[in-house]
Structure 1
């Protein structure tokens, strides 16, 4: 059985960036990816230098094509279901029945959406409803918007959205969970807040037209920003003993190292900063740290 220097679980920006760095460092790498990225719902990636407005599938295609020029990197369209072992001797089993061994592991498993119980939201998600103004605010600039969030999340978005549009309202889909000070500040800035439950989001071919509330109120809009509910893309980090945050992210240091020796994490799985370009950066940094660790281990094994 071939032992890899590193197995990367996940083939998004973090995993692909890590594979590129390790491939260029002449390390034997296997990338396991089931091709179910969270950004598959979107038509375009935004804010990624030299790749602004590219389709997510095209981004991955180009990345794999370029990485494939490095012969020590392999890809397998498989889903990792178990990880066992310890630093230097990890064993990964996939849903397809394959078993692989590796010296190091890089989790680049991302996050996944927990569907929100709002009728019509899935019809507009990725088309006219988004979660990040930095990613999609430009496309909705100066439009009539609705923020679907409550509490601190709603208040935070309310202060961000004016960078793209001054025409917006907040629908909290139930009790707003705002403080009285926050409510007063929103009133002073002329931001309408509707706390009735949402009956449905009305749209046409993915383009939102209005948000209808249970009390009969109809809030017109052509775009939505909402606070998602996320969970980590896989339970594998926790299964091998990685410490986790309350948010569901893996706890890492600045180089992607977890508390488990030989196990690294990069991208959305280890942060709440959900940007493709940031994920790619953390993937590269983790890969360099992994390479450094492998080099030191080889150095220390050398006979003089």
Structure 2
């Protein structure tokens, strides 16, 4: 595939990229979706909170999405990784790891986020099975169960009241200094939340990845049925930064309300451009960005012909 001339290239094939491809395909635009097939939520057995798709596996979600998009022949799926981008608005050149090159008028980064390696022994074995990051996604399945929350500081004080809507049986492990004020510790005590700052030695689980207990270095063992933890995330690709997109302190691509970045012709959507990491929110952002891209393309063509 050399020098494919396209209206848009979408980098990333999660909910944001797929919904953008659907909207652009229906708008009769020629689009390539470049995706390496390694989604962050691959560890998750079920995705929740997406109307008509509650409880679906991430792989089945993608399969159904691609089947629906296949009705629009102007959308091409490319199993590859974008590695470099050159050019400017209207004349972008995208090169991939497998040696493909694409010429595209517009770009949409739907690159998501990636987890840094999990440095707590045993956490990788339970991630996506009984350890999760979002109670909106997985809190219902762990309602009223004894849980361990691995978090600290200001983010803990946001998360503790949130998780209490699903269970009041949770213990906090800060895995080192808690980074709390005296007032914050008192607030947790008033709500009868046990808190331990000893580092975590390991997470003990069964063969199915269901956690049994969290063991601390001071010898404390905390039995539990589930874990919620704060992941350490990085943007799914360095390409937005490499081509000059503004990036926030938390690593998100800076966009306007329709997904447009500060670089002309470049858009972003989904988890890479938001701190609201939910599939349905990502899909919505992809749809809006696609509509903005289509509008921009149509206006440019209109003016060229006028």
For the aligned pair, the TM-score class normalised by the smaller chain equals: over 0.9
Q: 1:281 aligns with which of 276, 284, 298?
A: 284
SS at match of 1:163: coil
| Cross-structure match for 1:233 | 236
Contact kept in structure 1, 2:144 and 2:167, CA below 8 Å: yes
Contact kept in structure 1, 2:202 and 2:215, CA below 8 Å: yes
Q: Tell me, in whole angstroms, the C-alpha distance in 1 between the residues paired with 2:18 and 2:258.
A: 16
| Cross-structure match for 1:43 | 45
| Cross-structure match for 1:15 | 17
Question: What do residues 187-233 of structure 1 show as CA deviations (whole Å, max 9, x unaligned)?
Answer: 11100000000000000020000100001111110000000000000
Q: Tell me, in whole angstroms, the C-alpha distance in 2 between the residues paired with 1:135 and 1:13.
A: 15
SS at match of 1:160: helix
| Cross-structure match for 1:171 | 173
| Cross-structure match for 1:26 | 28
Q: How is 1:1-304 mapped onto 2 (pairs within 5 angstroms)? A: 1-205=3-207, 206-303=209-306
Contact kept in structure 1, 2:133 and 2:229, CA below 8 Å: yes
Task: State the shift of 1:154 in Å.
Answer: 1.4
Question: What do residues 24-54 of structure 1 show as CA deviations (whole Å, max 9, x unaligned)?
Answer: 0000000001110000000011010000000
Task: State the shift of 1:2 in Å.
Answer: 2.9
Q: Tell me, in whole angstroms, the C-alpha distance in 2 between the residues paired with 1:131 and 1:268.
A: 14
Q: Tell me, in whole angstroms, the C-alpha distance in 2 between the residues paired with 1:296 and 1:68.
A: 26
SS at match of 2:95: strand
Q: Which runs of 4+ in 1 moved over 3 A?
A: none
User: TM-score when scaled to structure 1?
Assistant: 0.99
Q: Tell me, in whole angstroms, the C-alpha distance in 2 between the residues paired with 1:200 and 1:2.
A: 50
SS at match of 2:164: helix
Q: Tell me, in whole angstroms, the C-alpha distance in 2 between the residues paired with 1:48 and 1:290.
A: 25
Task: State the shift of 1:3 in Å.
Answer: 1.0
Q: Tell me, in whole angstroms, the C-alpha distance in 2 between the residues paired with 1:127 and 1:232.
A: 23
Question: What do residues 78-118 of structure 1 show as CA deviations (whole Å, max 9, x unaligned)?
Answer: 10000111000000000001111100000000000012310
User: TM-score when scaled to structure 2?
Assistant: 0.98
Q: Tell me, in whole angstroms, the C-alpha distance in 2 between the residues paired with 1:2 and 1:32.
A: 13
Q: Tell me, in whole angstroms, the C-alpha distance in 2 between the residues paired with 1:42 and 1:79.
A: 22
Task: State the shift of 1:130 in Å.
Answer: 0.1
Question: What do residues 148-205 of structure 1 show as CA deviations (whole Å, max 9, x unaligned)?
Answer: 0110121211111111111001000000001111100001110000000000000002
Count, aligned residues? 303
Task: State the shift of 1:126 in Å.
Answer: 0.1
Q: Tell me, in whole angstroms, the C-alpha distance in 1 between the residues paired with 2:89 and 2:220.
A: 58
